[in-house]
Structure 1
Amino acid sequence: MASHLDLEEQEQLDQLKAFWKRWGGLITWVITAVLAAYAGWQGWNWYQRDQAAQAGAMYAEFDRALAAQDADKAAAAAGDLKARFGGTGFAAQAGLQAAKLQLEKGKTDEAKQSLAWVAEHGSEASYRDLARLRLAGLQLDSKAYDEAGKTLDAIKSKDFEALVADRRGDALLLQGKRDEAKAQYQKSLAGLPKEQDYRRIVEAKLSTLGVPAAVETTGAAQ
């Protein structure tokens, strides 16, 4: 009986050896790959959390400069964020806020540069399109109509369609193209929600072109 069991165990051992000889390398490779992937995933999560924490701390520094209305310090802090954490939302937000402060301080060229960076490198499409919309406004102020048109052309989000039309209307009106401007303002008004306060501004622009606000509102609803 013992001999029979010994033979059976030996047979099983031989089968195991044969199986391992055939598949052992592959099994080891798969296990190693799974463990490496898991370790990499854990490491990436840690890295992301660490990067977010560092970017958040740097944004807090930027926010202090912003609160103090110190355009130079705010721009420097925003620059550090762009250099080290350019792919984060913190950097895009800092760029937009820095541009606003720079504009308030009369630093128009610096504001354009800040907006241009966000338009090109912003972490999300909404940041990039918002920067383009604001940049186009500054380009119109400097009568750079072709540049403004190209900037507006780069905005693809449907969420910005009404505001883009409004900005195009401004560009056309500044060039004396009243009928074309009116068409863009009408398009803008039609695309703005009824509860949107900005509708009043577009209605005022249309009013200067001879389109009564009440009539246009009715037309937009249709």
Structure 2
Amino acid sequence: MASHLDLEEQEQLDELKHFWNTYGNLISWALILVFGAIAAMNGWQWYQRTQSAKASAIYEEVERAVQGGDLARAEQGFADARDKFSGTVFTQQAGLLVAQAAMDKGKPDTAKAALTWVAEHASDEGLQAVARLRLAAVLVEAKAYDDALKQLSAEMPAQFTALAADRRGDIYNLQGKKAEAKAEYSKAYQGLDERAEYRRLLEVKLTALGVDPKTLAPADKSAAGAAKS
């Protein structure tokens, strides 16, 4: 009986050896790939958390510099964050902060440079849209109307499209292009929720151009819902 069991065990061992000889390398490589992918994912998540934490610390330094009126120190902090942690939201927010501080101090070129970087490199579509809207305002002050329109023509999230149309209307109005201004103001008016306070300002702009806002057909529900959100 023992001899019979020994033979069965030997056969099973032989089959196992044959299986391993045939598929062992494949299984080993598959396991290496699986565990390697898990390790890489964990490592990447750790790296992102570390980068974000470091960028957050620099953002706080930039914020303190702005509050203290030290634009040069704020610019340096933003430059450091941009060089080392360009992919983080904190760096992109720092760019917006520096741009606002620069405009407050009458340095539009500094603001333009910061906003251009955020508009071109921001990973967050909302921050990118904010940068484009603010950059357009800086360009309008410099009377660079075509460049401002270019920024406002870029694709933006739905909640920013009405604001972009309003800014385009302002530019066309400044250029004396009344028909284009009416069209853009109408788009902005129709794209905003009826309860939005900003609509009142658009009513004034449209009325000044001879357009009765009450005659404008409401935008489709999907667009209005997007603007409301």
TM-score, structure 1 normalization: 0.91
Give the match for residue 131 of structure 1. Answer: 131
- Write out aligned runs for 1:78-117 (5 A): 78-117=78-117
Give the match for residue 196 of structure 1. Answer: 196
Please state whether the residue corresponding to 1:143 is helix, strand or coil: coil
- Cα distance in 1 for partners of 2:75, 2:202 equals 33
- Write out aligned runs for 1:27-106 (5 A): 27-106=27-106
- Cα distance in 2 for partners of 1:182, 1:104 equals 31
* Gaps in structure 1 of 5+ consecutive residues: none
Please state whether the residue corresponding to 1:99 is helix, strand or coil: helix
Cα contact 1:115–1:135 (8 A) shared by 2:
yes
Cα contact 1:189–1:220 (8 A) shared by 2:
no
> Percent sequence identity over matched residues?
50
- Cα distance in 2 for partners of 1:132, 1:220 equals 28
1:220 Cα deviation (Å)?
5.4
RMSD, matched Cα: 1.7
Give the match for residue 26 of structure 2. Answer: 26
- Cα distance in 1 for partners of 2:33, 2:180 equals 62
Cα contact 1:169–1:182 (8 A) shared by 2:
yes
Matched, 1:219 2:216: yes
Matched, 1:185 2:185: yes
Give the aligned length.
219
- Cα distance in 1 for partners of 2:125, 2:138 equals 20
- Further displaced range: 93-102 or 35-44: 35-44
Cα contact 1:115–1:131 (8 A) shared by 2:
yes
- Cα distance in 2 for partners of 1:35, 1:178 equals 64
Give the match for residue 140 of structure 1. Answer: 140
- Cα distance in 2 for partners of 1:155, 1:43 equals 34
Residues 73-130 of structure 1, C-alpha deviations (whole Å, 9 max, x = no match): 2121111111111111101111111111110110011111111000100121111121
